[in-house]
With several copies, the nearest count.
Chain A
Amino acid sequence: MKKIYMDYNATTPVRPEVLDAILPFYREEFGNPSSVHWAGRAVSGAVEKAREQVAKLINCSPAEVVFTSCGSEGDNMALKGTVAALRDKGNHIITTGVEHPAVLETCHYLEKNGCDVTFLTVDSDGMVDLRQLEDAITEKTILISAMWGNNETGTLFPVEEIGRIARKHKVRFHTDAVQAVGKIPVDVQKAGADLLVLSGHKIGAPKGVGAIYIRRGTRMTPLIHGGHQERNRRAGTHNVAGIVGLGMACELAGQNLEQNAERMAHLRDKLEQGILNQIPDVKVNGHRTQRLPNTLNVSFAYIEGESLLLNFDMKGVAASSGSACTSGSLEPSHVMGAMGVDVALAHSSTRFSLGPDSTEEDVDYILEILPPIIQRLREMSPLYPG
C-alpha cells in the first residue's frame, strides 16, 4: 500500500545525511566527550562542531547553545530555570492559551508553587493581541513565554514585536520555536529572544535531542544538576550521536530553508484549495497568512477526528487530529478551545503537516481518497443534516 506521511509536525524521518553523520558515533567514536583520552577527544570535537551548526541556524554564538534531550525538557528548563533564578525579582509569568503542553503544564505546575501566570487569549485565528500582552506586564513580571509557530494550526506569533515589548519592559522573553526552526528563518537576535527552544526530531534529526538557546548573561538555574557538562547548565553524559545528528540537521535545514518553505507552501495551498473546492462544510483553522508553510488544519464538520484518521490510515495516509478521542484525554484540543472553535468542530479538526519530501502526488492522492471517506463518515454521523 502507498504510504503518505503528512504528520511532520508530530515527528520527521531522520534524513539520510544525518544518519550518515551519526553512525560513526555508534561505532568507532564511542567515547565520552568529558574524557581526556583518545576515545573522548574525537567526540568532544564533534559535539562542539554540532554546537556551531545549531548556533549558525538561529544566529547566536555557540557558547549560548545548551543541548537537551527534547523540546519538552527545553521548555521546562526555560520556565522553571527562570523562576528559580529570578525569585528575588518577581513571580509573574505571561504566556498564551495556545502553547504546547510542555509550556502550559509547566505553568500550571508553577502556579501551584507560588507563581502567578497570565494566559493571554487568542482570536479566532489563534493570534495574540499585543496590547493585551503589554497591559499584562506588571512589576513582578519575570518572563514572557510565547511560541513562535503553533504546532496544531501553524499560526505564527509576531515574535519580533513580542521581543520588543519584552525588552522595553526589561522582561525576559522565551519562545518555544520547536515548530518554527528549520521551516522558516529563525533569528534570535531579530526576535530579541533571551531563551529559545528547539527539538531535533522535528527537523530530520533523531528523537531525544534538542537545544535551548540561552542568551549570554541570562541567569538560569539548571533543571538537571550534576556534572560539569554544558558549562554547568545541563548535567548528564552527552547524547553524542543525537547531538551530531542535530547539528547536521540544522546545517541541512539552513541550506534549503527558502526553497523548502516555498515548495511546502505551494503543496499545502494546493491541498487546502482542493479540500475547500471538493468538500462542503469545511473550516480552516489558524491564520491564513501568518502561518507555517507546511501546516494545514481543517475541521470536517460532523466527523470525529480519530475515526477520520483511522480511515486515512487504512489508505496509508498518516495525519493527526485535535480530537480528545485521539489522545484518550477528556478534552479536545486546548488550541481549538482557545480559538473559540465549537466543541464538535474541535473534535473534527485534522492536521496535515508536510515536509521537504512531500510531493504533488501525495497531495493528489489525498484529494482523491478524501471525498468518499468524508461522505461515508458523514452518513454515519448523527450530527449530519444530510
Chain B
Amino acid sequence: MYTEKVMDHFSNPRNVGEIENADGVGEVGNASCGDIMKIFLKVEDNVIKDIKFKTFGCGAAIATSSMVTEMAIGKTLDEAMELTNAAVAEALDGLPANKMHCSNLAADALHEAIKNYRENHS
C-alpha cells in the first residue's frame, strides 16, 4: 500500500531524535487519529541548521516526519514556512487516499516549530 519512498523513510527515518536546547520546538496532534509529532529546530541566520523529530503514529506519519526534516534542512525559515503537506506527500511519491491526513502532521509541526522559534526570538 505504501510507495518505496515511504517504506524507505519509514524503515530508515532521517533525523530522529531531540535537540537539546533547541531554538524552536513544535508539537502537533492529529485530531483525526490521535497521533502526535514533535519537531526540534536549530536555527542560525534564519536558516535551519539542524532539525530532529519524534513521532507517535503510523507508517505514513513517520515517513512524512522524516521527509519533512530532509526537505527543511538548509532552508531559510521563510522558505520552510512555504513547505506544504501536499509537497511532502508528493516527495514521497504519494500516500494512500486514507493516509493523506497523516501528512498534515509533518508540515504543521514544522510550522509550529518555526513560529515557536520566532516567538522566542522576537
Contacts and interface: CB of A to CB of B under 8 A. Distances in A.
The finding on whether chains A and B are genuine partners in a shared complex, rather than unrelated, reads yes
Contacts, number: 69
Contact of B56 (A304, A324, A328): A304
Given A304-B35, A344-B34, A383 B99 contact: no
Interface in B75-103: 96, 98-99, 102
A97 B20 CA distance: 45
Contact of B33 (A44, A314, A324, A379): A324
A324 B34 contact: yes
B interface majority secondary structure: mixed
A310 interface: yes
B57 to A, nearest CB: 5
B11 to A, nearest CB: 6
Contacts of B55: 380-382
Contact of B62 (A44, A323, A332, A380): A380
Given A344-B34, A383-B36, A314 B11 contact: yes
A144 interface: no
B74 interface: no
A124 interface: no
A330 B34 CA distance: 9
Interface in A329-386: 330, 332, 343-344, 347, 379-383
Given A302-B56, A307-B57, A328-B99, A380 B16 contact: yes
Given A380-B13, A380-B62, A382-B27, A330 B56 contact: no
Interface in B29-55: 32-38, 54-55
- Contact size class for B? 20 to 34
B57 A304 contact: yes
B71 interface: no
B16 A379 contact: yes
Contacts of A323: 58
A36 interface: yes
Contact of A332 (B1, B10, B34, B99): B34
Interface string B10-30: 110100110000000001000
A303 B55 CA distance: 9
Nearest 10 pairs of A and B residues by beta carbon: A328-B98, A325-B58, A382-B54, A306-B58, A382-B38, A324-B33, A381-B56, A310-B59, A330-B32, A380-B16
Given A307-B57, A330-B33, A347-B35, 14 more contacts: A302-B56, A304-B61, A306-B59, A311-B11, A324-B33, A325-B58, A325-B59, A328-B99, A344-B34, A347-B34, A379-B16, A379-B17, A380-B62, A382-B54
Interface of B: 1, 7, 10-11, 13, 16-17, 27, 32-38, 54-62, 96, 98-99, 102
